[in-house]
Structures are given as structure tokens and as C-alpha cells.
Amino acid sequence: MIFKYQVDAAAPELAGRASTEFKSVLKQLGVNAKIIRKISIAMYEGEINMVIHANGGEITCTVDEKQIEVVMADSGPGIPDLDLAMTAGWSTASQEARELGFGAGMGMPNMKRFSDEMDVKTKVGVGTTLTLRFNL
């Protein structure tokens, strides 16, 4: 099963809508509550990043019997130093994003921690595609 969501960076107050919608899909599918929570947290961090660091994009969630894959693709500025971006506490978030309660530099380490597999493909000036996999 495939679920696709558009993420609109022009409406930051809507950020998190895709994660909220996918969370209710997972509940309807009867996925284990602990796994739902991990997926929701990681996907939400990724969705927020697409809004505050890039210009939105598309999220594709694939559910099969053994795993759930969440692919978040944006055509934003890309990440120049991925190791640094993965470091807890590192953030380039704007003042605006900080006022929303983001910018602690915890999103990337959180996604790593809550997923079973995390893969980031990024190119400066082209964009970032983040893939998270969760075992069922």
C-alpha cells in the first residue's frame, strides 16, 4: 500500500498534517502502538525539516507486511555537511522556526534513533531525500 502526501512550506501552520494523517492510517491498519509512535515522531521531524529548512516537497509512505518505508523528498538547499547535521545540537534554524519551538538540532538524531534504518541523499542546490524504514 502506498500513501502520498504533499508538504507545503508556504503554510508552516499546516506542517505536521501529513504525519497526523499517516498516523491515523496506521491506527486503522492496526499497527502496534509503539511502532506507530516511533514512525509518527520520526516522520514529523522530517516533515518539519522540509518546511523550515527546504521549500516543502513530497512524502511517500509504503506499507508492506514486514516494514514501513517513509521517503521524504524536497528540492531545497541540500545539506552541505551531513555529519554535522546528524550531530545532536547542531542547527541552522531561523528565528521564525525557533519561535515555533524548533531548532534544538534534535530532529536528525531523533529520526536516527526512532527508525530501524535511515538513509539521507542530499546535494547542495538540488535537494534532500530522506528515507526511513521501520520493521514491523
Ligand X SMILES: Nc1ncnc2c1ncn2[C@@H]1O[C@H](COP(=O)(O)OP(=O)(O)OP(=O)(O)O)[C@@H](O)[C@H]1O
The residues that bridge with 118 in the sheet, in sequence order, are: 132
Query: Using DSSP, how many helices (H) and how many strands (E) does the chain show?
Result: 5, 5
Residues contributing to the site for ligand X (CB under 6 A): 45, 49-50, 53-54, 74, 76-77, 79, 85, 90-93, 102-108, 128
- Selected from 5, 7, 45, 79, the binder of other proteins by CB under 8 A is 45
**CA 125 distance to own-chain centroid:** 19
Q: C-alpha grid cell for residue 71?
A: 521517503
CA 81 to CA 79: how far, in whole Å? Answer: 6
Q: Which does 44 bind (CB under 5 to 8 A by kind): ligand X, Mg ion, other proteins, none?
A: other proteins
For ligand X, the closer of residues 31 and 129 by Cβ is 129
Nine-digit cell string for 92: 541552522
Choose the contact partner of 120 out of Mg ion, ligand X, other proteins, none; CB within 5 to 8 A by kind. none
SS3 percent helix, strand, coil of the chain, rounded to 5, is 40, 25, 35
Partner touching 16 among other proteins, ligand X, Mg ion, none, CB below 5 to 8 Å by kind: other proteins
Q: Using CB under 8 A as the criterion, which residues of the chain lie in contact with other proteins when the complex forms?
A: 13, 15-16, 19-20, 23, 37, 40-41, 44-45, 48, 88, 99-107, 109-110, 113
